Amino acid sequence: MGKFVNSIDEFFTYCEDNDVQFVDFRFTDIKGAWHHLTYRMGAVSAEQLEAGLPFDGSSVDAWQPINKSDMLLKPDVPTAFLDPFTADPTIIIFCDVYDIYKNQAYEKCPRSIAKKALQHADELGIADAAYFGPENEFFIFDDVKFVDNINEAGYKVDTEEGEWNSNTHYEDMYNTAHRPGTKGGYFPVAPTDSMVDMRAEMMQVLEQVGLEVVLGHHEVAQGQGEIGIVFSDIIGAADNVQKYKYVVKMIAHLNGKTATFMPKPLYGDNGNGMHVHQSLWKDGKNLFYKEGEYANLSETALHYIGGIFKHARAVAAFTNPSTNSYKRLIPGFEAPSILTYSSQNRSASCRIPYGAGEKATRVEMRFPDSTACPYLAFACMMMAGLDGIKNKDIPIGPMDEDLFELTLDEIREKKIPQMPHTLRGSLEALIRDNDFLKPVFTDLFIQTYQHYQFERQVWPDEGRPTAYEFKTTYQC
């Protein structure tokens, strides 16, 4: 797997060889959502690919005002790949956003921010490469319904795998009774695992679009799955998340299903995480490796972990950026919120995976989820880690016990910090603690982001009554 083209000349040759009819230019907003503009192949020139393509930046949430709306998409031509889903041959290109008013990379473009983070590490003399390996979990549902009106609110999701369907009468089929049950979905074979063929299709298509696929399996919850892909540099890894989510959603859609990366769609069952493996390198050497130390972790790696933990409450504003994120970060569902590290221990917020030798040594942050914009989440964690390296921060740990068994009193007694419990908490932390993000994240971006998140999620969520509130307070 890898690049399909390396230059503009190769791009046009590749398009001709594949009878490409359309070019789809894609960019990412601050929520992590993909947007696109589609050009006819004949309307695209080498000059445009070099100079950029104009678009309206005022129509994207929290970007430009209408009186300064003109912006440019700057295609990153070596990212081009054929769209596996369109009826007519279409090639997709990742784009960065350029600010024509300041003559620079747009300060609210997540992909540009991630590039600046890597450049910052190099300028500090700390690292010239950063590798990230995200693990994005997802649910496949047969049906989803929700309502959000002034006098009513509710949702209902369904999957044939759900234990609540054990007594369901199906018109066109019999009830198979093969279901994983709550928290019973880890590695069962078919027919209990009903998604074998669909995941296989996803894995094959992911390889078609350039990802190196390792494995796929059913996850712990009912209707939940995961596909493992090979790590990449910080930009390539974030690009891969966008491809991964696109392919998973489209394959589910084409199979008459619906996929979601929502952190906690099922009450009482495991949620979706995006565990992120990370390492910094310089001159071809892994800065996180030192043979003979605990889990072969170097002092640099410990400082990196320490920086992320020190700023974790603010970091969460980018790694766990939805109100639903914090319904996942509760004890008992393999979603760590206790800020310590441990070797091979999945109850710690930072796990040091088993691996032999320099190349395999890395840290795995287990609290992020897939509602994060991958570019912002990776850049934010790296900036916190770099700050930890500069200030020689030391994390609490290692702690090799089952942290899920600790009571709240024990956590306080051991003085172990925790992740914030709400999106409001993380955004308020970001307001107080953001110096570590500068100059990669500008003041304008941080202000825009936190205001947007309060207005889009926190205040609307806090203002709405829930079904559980009716259950507990209506008769008071």
- Known binding positions: 135, 137, 219, 226, 270-271, 275, 277-279, 328, 334, 346, 359, 364, 366
Is residue 169 flagged as an active site residue? no
Residues annotated within a binding site for L-glutamate: 270-271, 328, 334, 346, 366
| Residue among 10, 24, 128, 135 flagged as catalytic | 135
Whether 137 is catalytic: yes
Q: Which residues contribute to the annotated binding site for Mg(2+)?
A: 135, 137, 219, 226, 275, 364
Catalytic-role residue among 26, 120, 275, 351: 275
Q: Name residues whose C-beta falls within 8 Å of residue 266's C-beta, 6 or more positions apart in sequence.
A: 139, 157, 221, 222, 223
Q: Are 91 and 79 within 8 A, CB to CB?
A: no
CA proximity to 318, closest of 423, 245, 454, 246: 423
- For residue 238, what are its two tokens? 């974030």
Q: Catalytic residue at 47? A: no
Nearest-angstrom CA–CA distance, 27 and 56? 13
Burial of residue 104 (number of CB atoms within 10 Å: 0-12, 13-18, 19+)? exposed
Q: Is residue 364 flagged as an active site residue?
A: yes
- Please say if 199 is a catalytic residue: no
Dihedral sign, Cα of residue 167, residue 172, residue 174, residue 176:
negative
**Measured between alpha carbons, how far is 110 from 123 in angstroms, rounded to an integer?**
20
Note if 107 is an active site residue. no
What number of CA atoms fall less than 13 Å from residue 328's CA on the CB side? 30
Out of 96, 99, 107, 226, the active site residue is 226
CA distances from 164 to 179, 188, 203 (A): 10, 18, 29
The candidate with the shortest Cα–Cα distance to 4, out of 243, 279, 221, 226, is 243
Instruction: Please say if 219 is a catalytic residue.
Output: yes
Name the residue among 327, 130, 316 with its Cα closest to residue 232: 130
Is 366 annotated as catalytic?
Answer: yes
Catalytic annotation, pick one of 160, 364, 393, 428:
364
Which entry of 9, 16, 56, 61 is annotated as an active-site residue?
56
Q: From the annotation, which residues make up the binding site for ATP?
A: 277-279, 346, 359
Has 212 been annotated as catalytic?
no
Q: Which of 111, 179, 199, 366 is catalytic?
A: 366
The residues assigned a catalytic role are 56, 135, 137, 219, 226, 275, 346, 364, 366
